[in-house]
Amino acid sequence: MADRLEGKTITAGGAVFGKLKALGIDYVFANSGTDFPPIIEGLIEAGQTGLDLPTPVTVPHEHVAVGMAHGYYQLSGKVQSVMLHTNVGLSNGATGTINAWCDQIPMLIMSGRTPVMEGGRFGARTVPIGWGQEMFDQTALLREVTKWDYELRFPEQIADLFDRAWAISTSTPTGPVYLSLPREVLCEQTPPDGLQTPSRQAPVLPVASGRDLKPAADLLAGAKHPLIISQRGAGSEEAFAALGAFVNDWALPLSHYWANKLSLPLSHPMQVGCAPEDLLGEADVILVINSLAPWWPDKVQLRDDVAVIQLGPDPLFSRTPIRNFQADVTLAGETADTLLALIGEMNTRPRDEGALTRRRQRISTQSAENRRKVVDRAERGNGGPMSKDWVSLCLGRAIRGRKASVFHELGCPLEPLDLDSHNSYFQEPHSGGLGWGLPAALGAQLADRDRLIFATMGDGSYMFANPTACHMVAEAHELPVITLVLNNEEWGAVRHSVVGTYKDGLATKANEVPLTSLRPSPDFTRTAEASRAYTETVTEGDALPAALDRAITVATQEKRQVLLNIAIARA
Ligand SMILES: Cc1ncc(C[n+]2csc(CCOP(=O)(O)OP(=O)(O)O)c2C)c(N)n1
Ligand SMILES: [Mg+2]
């Protein structure tokens, strides 16, 4: 406790940090500028008063700062904070905020605002950027992708305002909020009242009630051909375990269609992979767990009599302008709580054990067959250059039994991995703002230093991540992230999108498809070596398992970051 604050005032720019710490925030991912004098001076001053403060992390690109906050939340479950420089820093952080919004990540995004006054006041404009960075509505840069925003008007507002920002950000559905902080206000003095206490406003955390749980449980218990689609995980370790037991008990197949988190161990007998089209076609009841786009409407013909239950923090995704997936029953609430409530409700339903056993048998046979095909296909990719599936298979084998998380952004696809735990897998959000993977992995490593963290990315995605900034942060904070660059020397996804849209088109026959080549490929090992990473280039599939073992040894024993530049065949 900061007794030295008794009866004193402090600079508002420093007071903000005290309040953030009281709200449970341990790191502020920051990229500073000329709006920061009261923040930096105030931070030193606040430290001298003995105020408990979060650790400021200097991040040399805003996209990396927001991505780190994203990844830190994913492993810690704790609300995050980011502090950026006026409109220009904010716009660099906008793509990361779009990602955080799409993934429902609670975070307090702050940026300075250029001084309002042109003179005559402490903190007023000095150099021309004071005019050049002024906007009519700075917040408009990310208002669509934040839940709430406000501009700090008076320094005495800090404690109340941040309590409110925190409570709204952490309410269901969670998401980013934005605070604009004008320089003159940050330069003022404020009494320390409320800076050392947690929020006086509690977040709203609803759980679906019996009114909706009952019909949902009736439908699921009575289904002949049920199917679960789950894209964003089970919500907690407890719910992950409970879901595993539940789907087994009730013989419910679960598909990770376009999942960016894991809901079941991949080897679970009810885990039916990522391509549920056939099962969707025969399903009479579908449970959609927090999935933005649970199937491809043009590719799937659902039964006329199908009933769809949608469960999640915002089952209708009300801030997505168009999304017309059927929702006969909606179960609103944080995923873990609501799943556990649904599972509890199912306990009281009658069961036809014979039918359940037959279905369990059928699905587990199908699931085992599916996994065998996945492994066979991956093993066939063991060439030089190799397939992404082969890299996934080798990575899954290399980390078996270890506490590890794999971040995937056009890197290691889910199915050939052999992952079995909550928080073992994260893919980029469905907003797809590339350059998320490596920053998120860095944030995750900061949140859990005992965990092996892999950032697996395409060569394009790696370059979107501002890699020099990432490797610098990794070295500065001793984050031994293992980066796997799956390098096919192109934006393969863009080329696939062209040939997928124009099936017999000109691009299918072109030797070099315009606007997709990344040749000549940079030597990415040198980018990482600039920050003293351990690196290797791997061109032959056979050489990969040993290279992964060496990477893991360096990361765990030397606590040093690693980059493997892996030659991938163009598919
Ligand atoms: C910020 C941003 N810019 C552009 C895109 C469009 N885009 C989607 S996939 C892709 C290519 C990714 O290339 P890479 O990471 O090398 O993976 P590959 O498909 O080659 O395996 C691009 C450019 C995007 N999603 N996000
Ligand atoms: Mg590529």
Ligand in nearest proximity to the CA of 435:
1
pLDDT at 3 (0 to 100):
64
Separation of CA 40 and ligand 1 centre (Å): 37
Question: Whose CA is closest to atom 9 on ligand 1?
Answer: 493
Q: What letter does residue 261 receive in the DSSP assignment? A: B
Asked if residue 35 lies in contact with residue 64, where contact means CB atoms within 8 angstroms, the answer is no
**What CA–CA distance (Å, rounded) separates 360 from 463?**
45
Ligand in nearest proximity to the CA of 460:
1
Q: Can you point out the beta strands (E) in 460-546?
A: 482-487, 534-538
**What CA–CA distance (Å, rounded) separates 35 from 46?**
18
pLDDT reading at 4 higher than 80 = no
Q: C-alpha 317: how far from its chain's center?
A: 17
Separation of CA 494 and ligand 2 centre (Å): 9
Q: Tokens for 257, please give them.
A: 């269609």
Ligand in nearest proximity to the CA of 428:
1
Q: What letter does residue 400 receive in the DSSP assignment? A: T
Q: What is the pLDDT of residues 465-475, one digit of tens each?
A: 999 999 999 99
Q: What is the pLDDT of residues 293-337, one digit of tens each?
A: 999 999 999 999 999 999 999 999 999 999 999 999 999 999 999
Separation of CA 543 and ligand 2 centre (Å): 20
- Asked if residue 490 has its Cβ within 6 Å of ligand 1, the reply is yes
| Average pLDDT of span 107-124 | 94
- Asked if residue 436 has its Cβ within 6 Å of ligand 1, the reply is no
**What CA–CA distance (Å, rounded) separates 385 from 380?**
12
pLDDT reading at 1 higher than 70 = no
Q: Is the full-model pTM beyond 0.95?
A: yes
Probe residue for ligand 1, chosen from 61, 434, 457, 524 as the CB with the greatest number of ligand atoms within 8 Å: 434
pLDDT at 237 (0 to 100):
98
Q: Who surrounds ion ligand 2 at CB < 5 A? A: 458-460, 488, 492
Asked if residue 416 lies in contact with residue 392, where contact means CB atoms within 8 angstroms, the answer is yes
Question: Whose CA is closest to atom 23 on ligand 1?
Answer: 491
Q: What is the pLDDT of residues 9-56, one digit of tens each?
A: 999 999 999 999 999 999 999 999 998 999 999 999 999 999 999 999
- Average pLDDT of every residue of the chain: 97
**pLDDT class for 505, splitting at 50, 70, 90?**
very high
Separation of CA 71 and ligand 1 centre (Å): 19
Probe residue for ligand 1, chosen from 464, 496, 499, 518 as the CB with the greatest number of ligand atoms within 8 Å: 464
pLDDT reading at 459 higher than 60 = yes
Q: Could you give phi then psi for residue 399, rounded to 5 degrees?
A: -105, 5
pLDDT at 6 (0 to 100):
80
pLDDT reading at 557 higher than 90 = yes
pLDDT reading at 412 higher than 70 = yes
- Asked if residue 494 has its Cβ within 6 Å of ligand 1, the reply is yes
Question: Whose CA is closest to atom 5 on ligand 1?
Answer: 434
Kindly give the number of the ligand 1 atom that is closest to the alpha carbon of 490: 20
Question: Whose CA is closest to atom 16 on ligand 1?
Answer: 460
Q: What is the pLDDT of residues 167-202, one digit of tens each?
A: 999 999 999 999 999 999 999 999 999 999 999 999
- Asked if residue 71 has its Cβ within 6 Å of ligand 1, the reply is no
Q: Tokens for 453, please give them.
A: 């963290």
Kindly give the number of the ligand 1 atom that is closest to the alpha carbon of 568: 21
Question: Whose CA is closest to atom 7 on ligand 1?
Answer: 494
Probe residue for ligand 1, chosen from 61, 461, 566 as the CB with the greatest number of ligand atoms within 8 Å: 461
pLDDT at 25 (0 to 100):
98
Asked if residue 51 lies in contact with residue 18, where contact means CB atoms within 8 angstroms, the answer is yes
Kindly give the number of the ligand 1 atom that is closest to the alpha carbon of 495: 19
Q: Cis link prior to 321 (omega < 30° from 0)?
A: no
Share of the chain above pLDDT 90, in %: 97
Q: Tokens for 77, please give them.
A: 């479950």
Separation of CA 418 and ligand 2 centre (Å): 23
> How far is residue 506 from each of residues 490, 503, 510, 517, measured CA to CA in Å?
18, 9, 6, 16
| Average pLDDT of span 533-551 | 98
Separation of CA 495 and ligand 1 centre (Å): 10
CA dihedral 222→226→231→235, nearest 10 degrees, is 30
Determine the 3-state secondary structure of 227 from DSSP.
strand
Q: What letter does residue 443 receive in the DSSP assignment? A: H
